[in-house]
Amino acid sequence: MSEAATAYERDTRNVSRDFQESNDTVEATVPTCNTQLQEGQIRLFNIQLDDGEQIEGFLEIFDHRSAPEYIAQSYVCGESRCDREISVNGKPHYVKTNLFVALQQTRKALRQRSAGRRLGGGALITWLWIDAVCINQSNPQELEIQIRFMEHIYRRASSTFVSIGTLRKSHGLISRVSELLAIEARASRL
């Protein structure tokens, strides 16, 4: 196992331990997709564009060569606990606040695109790749494979949405940079 995968596994165990200590619902930390990914496969999250606070969607496994267009979600991990609930495959899945905010921002941007697509035609991309949701965080073998594959995942994405979380308006320039980064950034295709 690579050094990066080992560190990632250790950090994931710490998050799970912190979650267990602060919540009674331990089952929620169990991955919502029990099928292990094989080399060359990715798991994508199809986000539902419903209104409301709750983030909902489902996971599906694809061979990377035949995966539908997707958006890679990039966000600041932060130090918060996994205490924000989203629904994945109809089951609760807990994520950090910064990811929850990033998903809300992405869903809002996709909803705005959806309104435009109804008028102008074209396909709307609702598939997302998000490390904390699309990689089984409790499976060291899958973590190692997916970490090695991340560069390809980001290059293959049709877009990358970047979120650096929420900032107070008093941060001036940093607040403006945050707004600019929340706008879709085209993934580089080297």
Q: Over the chain (190 residues), what is each successive 10-residue block's mean pLDDT?
A: 44 41 35 73 92 89 92 83 90 91 90 67 80 89 89 92 65 52 44
Output the CA–CA distances (angstroms, integers) from residue 177 to 13, 155, 183, in the order listed. 33, 23, 10
- Vertex 107: Cα angle to 105 and 112 (nearest 5): 95
Residue 29: other Cβ atoms inside 10 A:
19
Strand 56-63 and strand 82-88: the pairing is parallel
* Residue span of the structural domain in which 66 resides: 3-182
Strand 71-75 and strand 127-129: the pairing is parallel
The amino acid occupying position 85 is E
Residue 131, pLDDT score: 92
112 domain residue, yes or no: yes
189 domain residue, yes or no: no
Here the tokens at position 135 are 């990689």
190 domain residue, yes or no: no
40 domain residue, yes or no: yes
Contact 128, 44 (CB under 8 A): yes
Domain count of the chain? 1
46 domain residue, yes or no: yes
Contact 132, 95 (CB under 8 A): yes
- C-alpha of 66 from chain center: 20
147 domain residue, yes or no: yes
**What is the distance between the alpha carbons of residues 146 and 78, in angstroms, rounded to a whole number?**
21
77 domain residue, yes or no: yes
Residue 178, pLDDT score: 52
Non-local (6+) Cβ contacts of 174 within 8 A are: 167
SS3 182: helix
Strand 91-96 and strand 127-129: the pairing is unpaired
Residue 52, pLDDT score: 79
96 domain residue, yes or no: yes
SS3 99: helix
Residue in the block written with tokens 């080297």: 190
- Vertex 143: Cα angle to 138 and 145 (nearest 5): 145
